[in-house]
Amino acid sequence: MFLSRCVRRIHPGTSCRWVSFNTNEHEQLRESVRKVVTNDINPCIEEWEAKGRFDKKFVLKKLAEIGALGITKPTEYGGLGLDYSYNVPFLEEIGMCRGAGVVTGVTVHTDMCCPALIRFGTEELKQQFLAPSISGEFLGCVGVSEPDAGSDVASIRTTAKRDGDDLIINGTKMWITNGTQADWMCMLANTREGKAHKNKSLICVPMNLKGITVAKKIQKIGQHCSDTAQIFFENVRVPASNIIGEEGQGFMYQMMQFQEERLAAALAIPNQLDKVIEETAEYLATRKVFKTPLLDKQYIQFKLAELKTEVEAIRSISYRGAQQIVEGEDATMLASMAKLKAGRVARDVVDTCLQFHGGMGYTEEMWISKAWRDCRLISIAGGADEIMLYIISKYMGICKD
Amino acid sequence: MSLRILVGCKRVIDYAVKVRVKPDHSGVVTQGVKHSLNPFDEIAVEEAVRLKEKKHASEIIAVSCGPAACQETLRTALAMGADKAIHVEVSEAEYATLQPVHVSKILAKLAERTQANLILVGKQAIDDDLNQTAQMTAGVLDWPQGTFVSQVEPEGDSLKIVREVDGGLEHIKVKLPAVVSADLRLNEPRYATLPNIMKAKKKPMEKLSAKDLGVDIAARIKVVNVAEPPVREAGAKVENVDELLGKLKDLGRI
Ligand SMILES: Cc1cc2nc3c(=O)[nH]c(=O)nc-3n(C[C@H](O)[C@H](O)[C@H](O)COP(=O)(O)OP(=O)(O)OC[C@H]3O[C@@H](n4cnc5c(N)ncnc54)[C@H](O)[C@@H]3O)c2cc1C
Q: What ranges do the domains of chain B cover? A: 3-250
Residue A272 has pLDDT above 50, yes or no: yes
The answer, yes or no, to whether residue A13 has pLDDT greater than 90, is no
Q: How far apart are CA B139 and CA B179, in angstroms?
A: 10
Three-state SS at A258: helix
**Phi/psi of residue A143, nearest 5 degrees:** -115, 80
A135 at interface of B, judged by CB pairs closer than 8 A: no
Give the pLDDT score at A17: 58
pLDDT for A365: 87
pLDDT tops 80 at residue A88: yes
Q: Rounded CA gap, A277 and A314, in Å?
A: 15
Out of A32, A80, A82, closest to residue B192 by CB: A32
pLDDT band at B232 (very low <50, low <70, confident <90, very high): confident
Long-range residue pairs from B224-231, CB within 8 A, at least 24 positions apart, any chain: B225/B25, B226/B21, B226/B22, B226/B25, B226/B26, B226/B27, B226/B28, B227/B21, B227/B25, B228/B20, B228/B21
What is the rounded CA–CA span in Å between residue A271 and residue A89? Answer: 10
ipTM: 0.88
Angle between helices A298-326 and A87-94 (to 10 degrees): 140
Residue B81 has pLDDT above 90, yes or no: yes
- Contact present, B123 and B236 (Cβ < 8 Å): no
Contacts of B192 in chain A (CB under 8 A): 28, 31-32, 66
- Domain segments of chain A as ranges: 6-139, 141-248, 253-396
Interface touch A2/B197, C-beta < 8 Å = no
Residues of A known to be catalytic: 261
> Each residue of A57-85: pLDDT tens digit?
999 999 999 999 999 999 999 999 999 99
Cβ burial A307-332 (10 Å sphere, 16+ → b, else e):
beebbbebbbbbbbbbbbbbeeeebb
pLDDT of residue A352: 98
Fold classification of A253-396 (topology level): Butyryl-CoA Dehydrogenase, subunit A; domain 3 (1.20.140)
Average pLDDT over residues A295-317: 98
A229 DSSP β-pair partners: A176, A217
> Is the Cα torsion angle B11, B15, B20, B26 positive or negative in sign?
positive
- The predicted structure's pLDDT at residue A2: 38
Measured between beta carbons, the chain B residues lying within 8 angstroms of A35 are 191
Q: Is A142 in the pocket of ligand 1 (CB under 6 A)?
A: yes
Bridge pairing between strands A17-20 and A6-9: antiparallel
Q: What's the pLDDT tens digit per position in A320-379?
A: 999 999 999 999 999 999 999 999 999 999 999 999 999 999 999 899 999 999 999 999
Q: How confident is the model at residue B99 (pLDDT cuts 50, 70, 90)?
A: very high
Write out pLDDT tens, residues A363-393.
Answer: 998 999 999 999 999 999 999 999 999 999 9
User: Ligand 1 within 6 A of A381 CB?
Assistant: yes
CB within 8 Å: B79 and A82: no
For position B236, what pLDDT does the model report?
A: 81
Instruction: Please tell me if residue B194 touches chain A, with a CB cutoff of 8 Å.
Output: yes
pLDDT in tens, A237-251: 999 999 999 999 999
Which of A24, A27, A80 lies nearest to residue B194, judging by beta carbons?
A80
Pairing of strands B118-122, B178-182: parallel
Size (chain A), residues: 401
DSSP state of A243: B
- Strand-pairing partners, residue A232, are A172, A213
- CATH architecture of the domain with range A141-248: Beta Barrel (2.40)
- pLDDT, residue A5, reads 42
Residue of the CA atom closest to atom 32 of ligand 1: A151
For the Cβ of A380 lying below 6 angstroms from any atom of ligand 1, the answer is yes
What is the rounded distance in angstroms from the CA atom of residue A158 to the CA atom of residue A54?
28
| Average pLDDT along chain B | 95
Listed in sequence order, the residues at least 6 apart from A280 whose beta carbon sits closer than 8 Å to its beta carbon are: A304, A353, A356, A357, A368
Which residues of B, range 35-54, sit inside 8 Å of A by Cβ?
Answer: 36
Could you write out the DSSP letters of every residue in chain B?
Answer: --EEEEEE--EEE-TTS---B-TTSSSB--TT--EEE-HHHHHHHHHHHHHHHTTSEEEEEEEEEESTTHHHHHHHHHHHT-SEEEEEE--HHHHTT--HHHHHHHHHHHHHHHT-SEEEEES--TTT----HHHHHHHHHT--EEEEEEEEEEETTEEEEEEEETTEEEEEEEESSEEEEE-GGG--PPPPPHHHHHHHTTS-EEEEETTTTT-----S-------PPPPPPP----SSHHHHHHHHHHTT--
Report the residue of A4, A22, A24 to disrupt the B interface, i.e. the one with the largest count of B CBs within 10 Å.
Answer: A24
Residues B115-122, mean pLDDT to the nearest whole number = 98
Q: Å from B194 to nearest chain A CA?
A: 5
- With a CB cutoff of 8 Å and minimum separation 6, the contacts of B205 are B71, B74, B78, B84, B85, B86, B87
User: pLDDT tens digits, residue range B199-228?
Assistant: 999 999 999 999 999 999 999 999 999 999
- The β-bridge relationship of strands B178-182 and B205-209 is unpaired
* Res. A10: pLDDT tops 60: no
The shortest C-alpha distance from B175 to chain A (Å) reads: 36
At A322, the amino acid letter reads A
CA A45/CA A97 separation, integer angstroms: 8
> Do the beta carbons of residue B62 and residue B82 sit within 8 Å?
yes
Task: Choose the CATH number for B3-250 among 3.40.50.720, 3.10.180.10, 3.40.50.300, 3.40.50.620.
Answer: 3.40.50.620
Can you tell me the mean pLDDT for A301-306? 98
- All residues at 6 or more sequence positions from A359 whose CB lies less than 8 Å from its CB, including other chains: none
* Per-residue confidence (pLDDT) for residue A400, from 0 to 100: 85
Q: B197–A68: do the CB atoms touch at under 8 Å?
A: no
Residues forming beta bridges with residue A236, ordered by sequence position: A169
Query: Mutate which of B194, B198, B201, B232 to disrupt the A interface (most A C-beta within 10 Å)?
Result: B194
First to last CA, chain B: 60
| pTM for the full predicted model | 0.91
Match domain A6-139 to its CATH number in 3.30.9.10, 1.10.540.10, 3.30.200.20, 3.40.50.1360: 1.10.540.10
Could you report the per-residue pLDDT of A160-188, keeping only the tens digit for each? 999 999 999 999 999 999 999 999 999 99
